[in-house]
């Protein structure tokens, strides 16, 4: 059985620009998904020299 992929985009709230895309291929519950996205958010903030609070994520809908 193939696990459904979920695609997320991380957005800089000050500019409105998407700064990072991420795909979850694992079948995780809500708490694990949130933990994984928080980890990716921290990495995106570090790579882009942004404060953590200026980044948020949205699930991309097809």
CA distance 61 to 47: 25
Residue 31 within a domain: yes
Report if residue 1 sits inside a domain.
no
> Would you say residue 38 lies in a domain?
yes
56 close to 14: Cβ distance less than 8 angstroms: no
Q: Which domain does 22 fall in, by range?
A: 6-59
Assess if residue 29 is contained within a domain: yes
Q: Is residue 53 part of a domain?
A: yes
Number of domains in the chain: 1
Supply the pTM of this predicted model. 0.86
Report, as an integer, the average pLDDT of 36-56: 96
Runs of H (alpha helix) within the chain:
30-47
Position 49 in a domain: yes
Q: What is the pLDDT of residues 3-38, one digit of tens each?
A: 678 999 999 999 999 999 999 987 888 899 999 999
Contact indicator for 61, 8 with CB cutoff of 8 Å: no
């Amino acid at each position: 059985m193939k696990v459904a992929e979920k695609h997320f985009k991380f957005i800089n709230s000050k500019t409105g620009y998407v700064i990072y895309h991420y795909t979850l291929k694992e079948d995780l519950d809500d708490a694990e998904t949130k933990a994984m996205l928080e980890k990716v958010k921290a990495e995106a903030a570090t790579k882009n020299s942004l404060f953590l609070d200026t980044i948020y994520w949205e699930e991309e809908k097809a």
